[in-house]
Chains A and B, each alone.
Chain A
């Protein structure tokens, strides 16, 4: 038992490369969140719409995103679209998969937040002469983001953790991809992935901390 010499130096020598990978991870997570939030707002509005032509596609998106694995969604983007002659690079496929997933989950969060905003708020806005869109933009949206802020940051952490799935479709520039690449060359699996895990932990905690700080700065009355 334990006939294994740990070679931590080798892992630490790879740290600069892994930090570069962490930047790519953050980039994908932030992009997927920005696009995801935008789509989620549209989906939340569409799901509350009267027209079934708007309601049905939005409902389908949300239910598929929430009831199938994120890895399946990434596979769909990477392998599935190949049936139609569309070949996405691992980066784009990963981004598309995570964004699809984020939008589905965030839509439900936003819908819950929208329900918490009293209808009288919109009516007050409308009676002040605002149009429907203007009332939504100036009255409803800011309140919705305030209510949904903490769940949204949780989703951000989820998005960061989900980027690790990119390695299964051949992504080699994000944190997990870089680590797997180094692992294939050095076979120091435990050391490298332990370091990668520690980095993910630090990133997740840093994001949570930044979000708390932002919430405290933004949302005090």
Chain B
């Protein structure tokens, strides 16, 4: 019969790790989405040359491994003497990382709104702000939301990397238990199941939304 040394408290320890994973993800996604909306609107409205530096920096965030970004950010804050905790550093890095992808989603979604629709809105007397909030936003949301859900799940999975800075999130918690209990497969399977349970339903929802909204086009 299957026998394990895993106790209820260990399970709580894992769930606490999952809580850390979720809170890092939440901070990163909220920060990243706000920045991404801002940058995305900038990129789709200002001439490409004017935002070239921004485009380049965001491209760097997408072309350098997240692990290296985390290590660099941690070293930079130490050099600058900011004394950020690893948690704060991780949240900032992940937020910037998220914003780089979110910018592309927002830009793509805004550019998917036909220019004639926007011109029609403006010629009806709507201001730029009204056009953005009442015409562009509802239409772009349908294009962008499925990808945004995918991005959020991606960030949740990538947040496992913050263990390198010494934060005890879900994966690190499972590793600590593995070291103590010497049952790697079983404990990692539990950690994987928690990740799966968090990610799979939302991924399904995203897929369903995408399919439903495409039918109306």
Contacts and interface: CB of A to CB of B under 8 A. Distances in A.
Interface string A152-196: 000001000110110110000000100000000000011001101
B81 A3 contact: yes
A194 B157 contact: no
A197 to B, nearest CB: 4
A216 interface: no
A190 B79 contact: yes
A219 interface: no
B66 to A, nearest CB: 7
Contacts of B81: 1-3
B63 interface: yes
B199 to A, nearest CB: 4
Interface in A75-104: 75-76, 79-84
The 6 closest A-B pairs by CB, nearest first: A83-B185, A164-B65, A69-B157, A190-B75, A67-B199, A69-B160
B183 to A, nearest CB: 7
Contacts of B75: 189-190, 193
A81 B185 contact: yes
18 contacts: A1-B80, A64-B196, A67-B195, A67-B203, A68-B195, A69-B157, A69-B158, A72-B171, A79-B178, A80-B188, A80-B189, A157-B63, A164-B68, A176-B65, A189-B71, A197-B60, A201-B60, A201-B63
Given A68-B199, A69-B160, A176-B67, 13 more contacts: A67-B203, A68-B157, A72-B188, A76-B188, A80-B185, A80-B188, A80-B189, A83-B185, A161-B65, A190-B79, A197-B69, A200-B63, A205-B63
B213 interface: no
Nearest to B203: A67
Nearest to B64: A197
B84 interface: no
Contacts of B199: 67-68
Counting contact residues on chain B (CB < 8 A from A), the size range is 35 or more
A75 B68 contact: no
Contact of B192 (A4, A76, A167, A193): A76
A84 B67 CA distance: 30
B67 A167 contact: yes
A81 B66 CA distance: 26
Interface in A27-68: 63-64, 66-68
Contacts of B65: 161-162, 164-165, 176, 197, 200
A19 interface: no
